[in-house]
Structure 1
Amino acid sequence: MMTAIGDLLTTSPAVLPEELVDDLLRGQSFRVERIVSRGHASPDDFWYDQDEAEWVLVVQGEARLRLETDAEPIELKAGSYINLPAHARHRVEWTHPDVDTIWLAIFYTV
């Protein structure tokens, strides 16, 4: 394995038409991604339904995440995290339009 140095708070491009996803680390049963959202949300009627579990931390910014099983969205801010089991259907309802929301996501299998 190679030594890697980075900065989760690296400045994003001025224009961000789509979420920015950086693959930071991979192993046999996991991967770590840095995701940057700026006003991005899941398309209407779209739900993530992943084969992997996902632990996600909001490093910076704000977001609203909705689980299919919940009536109300979950408010996330810097420091908030959630662990989503595999196939927990969820969607991003909102991210702050003026501030980059930086997520650290760890996808893993158990």
Structure 2
Amino acid sequence: MISFTFLRPKLLAGLSFFTSFTPSATSLVQKNILQGGLSRNKSSSTKKYKIKTNKGAAARWHKTKSGLFKHGAIGVNHGNSNWSNRILARTNRGGYALGKGEGNHIGRIKKLMPYA
């Protein structure tokens, strides 16, 4: 007797000319296939993967309540020993990510930090 458990449900429709292949056997084979008994990649089709957050972006950007992304002060960590107080005060402010019209930084940050 030939076993037809390896066939797909579309192929089972054309096998009605076999006398030993009864409708009850057809339903058993289809049930086995539908339950995933013969599926090789069963886990890959049902498993959802998490996306890793870019830690460099997470350290530099913080999401505000309004949905904007804010960054800290830039250019004040080192190399500014001869700068005037006016220049230091101007650089010692945070800022916000630019919108879609100016480079779409918000879209890039959302890709780097999907759970922010």
Please report the TM-score for the alignment, with normalisation by the length of structure 2: 0.20
Q: Greater share of strand residues, 1 or 2?
A: 1
Which protein is richer in helix relative to its size? 2
Higher CA-based Rg = 2
